[in-house]
Amino acid sequence: MLQAIGLTSAPRRGLPAAVDDLTFEARPGQVTALLGDSGSGKTAALRLMLELDPGRGVAYFRGRPIHRIPHPAREVGVLLGDVPGHPARTARGQLRMLGAAAGVPSARADELLELVGLAGLGDQRIGALSLGMDRRLALASALLGDPHTLVLDDPAEGLAPREGGWLHGLLRAHAARGGTVLYTTADPKEAARAADRVVTIDGGRLVADQDAGDFSRTRLRPRVAVRTPHAARLAAVVSREARAARRSVEVVAETGGRLAVYGSTCAEIGDIAFRHGLPVHQLADEVGDTGSTAPGESTDPTEPGGPANSPRLPDPAGPDGHTGSCDPRPVARASVPEPAPPIRRHPAPGPLHPLRYELRRLLGVRTTTLIMAAVLVVSVGLSVLLARTGHASLPKVLAAWPSLLPLPPAAVGAGLLGALSFGDEFRYPALAAGRGTVPRRLGLLLAKLVVSAGVAAVLAPAVVLASAGTLRLVYGHDWMHVPPNLVSLGVSWVALTVGCAWAGLLAAGVFRVTTAGVAAVLAVPVLVVPLVQLVLTAPGSRPVTGFPARLRELMWPRWPHETDRWVALAVGVVAHPVGAALVLSLSVLVIAYLFTGLLGRPRWWPRRAAGSGQAM
């Protein structure tokens, strides 16, 4: 059961509230339509229920607000707008990625593709899907966690009648299994045809809460739709004969030679047109909309939509004006209802399987493969050119790092992949649909750091091996030799690519755009390295020679003497101007990421999250 009690949006300055004290319920086993014209507050009401916007009131999903549900995707399936997926990702890849976030197995994606009629289009890219296919994929995304409640914002918008019929059949099947379905619509005829109960709102306030039969009787009435090239003559003849027969018939002229005749039948209109020799191009029975009821019109408690049929906030005082305490004295303010509790915007939950989610996000599009292939091709080409000139050392040749470039292609490629890790999240917010931000969870950040470091660690030796193999093929192996400091060079090379990947990732997470991550990577050699060199070469600066031995003397238990070599290697990497610049940049970016994450959280967030059990 979904219960919405006292929903009231926070009004903007000088404007009325989009939702004003809205109270209704959607029962299990039924399809409930939230009906209203454009701007009536339907979407705002859904966002208040889902705690996406601030306001007042409360929405219970089987007795719990959404922030107290441990795994919201398994209880509430949400559809707000289009599928927030990368256009180059396949439909199956999108569902598998979201399945990792919801904690469901990969096989669930294929089940849902079959359910929504996309079994043959699983490898189709999202950007190539039609509107109908896109809505089917969006509905599959809402059904991923097999939720009990579906909350859908105008799911049939823009669909053909056949697609709309399929959609409503699927919603009714979900309700038949005991689920709760709430969807918004602006079409009263669709609501009467597809829903079991219709909640009508206008101006953010409740107008009527009726079952479909009462709604059809009070809001809709039958009519005859006629299309003829002589609409004016037919309208005059029908009205004249109705007056002669003392019958109540209303004829309404519409555009395109159409007439809407209320109070008559197709047979009567056809006979009249035949007798007067008027051609008829269309003659059909329809259901016409009589217009929405004004707010407050239904005041009879026995009428559908009256006060007796709408749930209300529970009264803290008893029927005699007493509270539940032992004090028999009446409370002075017992007749004044308590204000609805505040609705605060909660951060989006992070993925339940962050590492699996990040891997599927990274490998689900061809961008990763294309960038790595481009890095290998450019690196091999530069290595051949550097070896031909003979002015660069062997490590520079193998790393494809000419002196005119601030960074080698491998480091730039790793930084770009790291920047895309967060940049694509903000551009295509699959994790935070409708929330406007990506969840800043520690598990998600660690998963992105681990995956980006793994990609960089694979890319760095791949460039060296590809360059070495190409150089041996082109120039032979006589001039190549193994450098004596191979281990330190290899560690420094991998550390450089991993550091660039992390710099791009953190900067994109702080500034929420991919270009900021790439700019942060390029700023390390261009801006930070000169500053570090200035500090290291300043008069009075001292070397760190002997640091590993002194550190070993302070540690307990004592490490072996062989460890000094590895400590000295790490210190040497950090002491290098580029290494020191990377460490400094990463430190600043980590602090900025944590600061912006804490700054974006409300003051009440830690206390509320700790008591709710929401997935972190």
Decide if pLDDT at 354 tops 70.
yes
Whether 330 has a pLDDT exceeding 70, the answer reads no
Rounded Cα distance, 405 and 417, in Å: 19
Kindly report the average pLDDT of the chain as a whole number: 82
* Gap between the Cα atoms of 391 and 395, Å rounded: 12
Q: Tell me if 407 sits within 8 A of 521, measured CB to CB.
A: yes
DSSP character for 362?
H
Decide: 282 and 288 in contact? Cβ < 8 Å: no
User: In this model, does residue 578 exceed pLDDT 80?
Assistant: no
Task: Find out whether 452 and 502 touch, Cβ atoms under 8 Å.
Answer: yes
- The per-residue pLDDT for range 169-208, each reduced to its tens digit, is 999 999 999 999 999 999 998 999 899 999 999 999 999 9
Nearest to 280 by CA among 291, 294, 266: 266
Looking at the DSSP assignment, which residues form a beta bridge with residue 286? 223
With a cut of 50, say whether residue 325 has pLDDT above it.
no
Higher-confidence residue: 186 or 578? 186
DSSP-derived letter for residue 308 is: G
Q: How many CB atoms lie within 10 A of CB 119?
A: 13
- What pLDDT shows up at residue 235? 92
- Whose tokens are 């261009």? That residue is 526
pLDDT value of residue 237: 93
pLDDT of residue 23: 95
DSSP state of 12: P
Structure tokens at 518: 């790439």
Looking at residue 12, what is its pLDDT?
Answer: 78
Q: Is the pLDDT of residue 535 over 70?
A: no
pLDDT at 501: 96
| 440 pLDDT more than 50 | yes
Across residues 471-488, what is the average pLDDT? 78
State the Cα–Cα distance between residues 331 and 583, nearest whole angstrom. Answer: 64
Compute CA 210 distance to the chain's CA centroid, rounded to the nearest angstrom.
Answer: 33
> Is the backbone peptide bond immediately before 301 cis, with ω within 30 degrees of 0?
no
Residue owning tokens 């002229």: 253
* Residue 455 one-letter amino acid: V
Tell me the pLDDT band of 292, cut-offs 50, 70 and 90: low
Residue 507 CA to residue 590 CA, distance in Å, equals 9
Residue 439 in tokens: 């969840």
Residue 526 is given by DSSP the state I
β-strands 55-61, 342-343 pairing? antiparallel
d(CA 93, CA 68): 30
Q: What are the residue ranges spanned by the domains of the chain?
A: 2-216, 229-280, 354-600
Q: Nearest 5°: phi and psi at 603?
A: -65, -30
Phi then psi dihedrals of residue 315, to 5 deg? -80, 125
pLDDT value, residue 286: 78
SS3 content of the chain, % helix, strand, coil (to 5): 50, 15, 35
Is the pLDDT assigned to residue 529 strictly greater than 80?
no
pLDDT classification of 331: cutoffs 50, 70, 90: very low
**412: which 2 tokens?**
């730039």
- pLDDT tops 60 at residue 553: no
More confident: 249 or 466: 466
Q: What is the pLDDT of residue 295?
A: 41
Residue 536: the pLDDT is: 57
- Would you give the distance in Å from CA 512 to the centre of its chain? 15
Split at pLDDT 50, 70, 90, the class of 333 is very low
The whole-angstrom separation of Cα 365 and Cα 582 is 29
Residue 275 has pLDDT above 80, yes or no: yes
Q: Record the tokens describing residue 474, joined without a space.
A: 């082109």
Query: Could you tell me which residues come within 8 angstroms of residue 161 by beta carbon, excluding any fewer than 6 positions away?
Result: none
Quote the pLDDT of residue 318.
38
Residue with the bigger pLDDT between 550 and 468: it is 468
Alpha-carbon distance 422 to 405, whole Å? 26
Q: Which CATH class is domain 2-216?
A: alpha beta
Give the Cα separation of 131 and 157 in Å (integer): 9
pLDDT of 167: 92
Helix H segments across 195-252?
212-219, 231-244
HEC-encoded secondary structure of 74-119: HCEEEECCCCCCCCCCEHHHHHHHHHHHHCCCCHHHHHHHHHCCCH
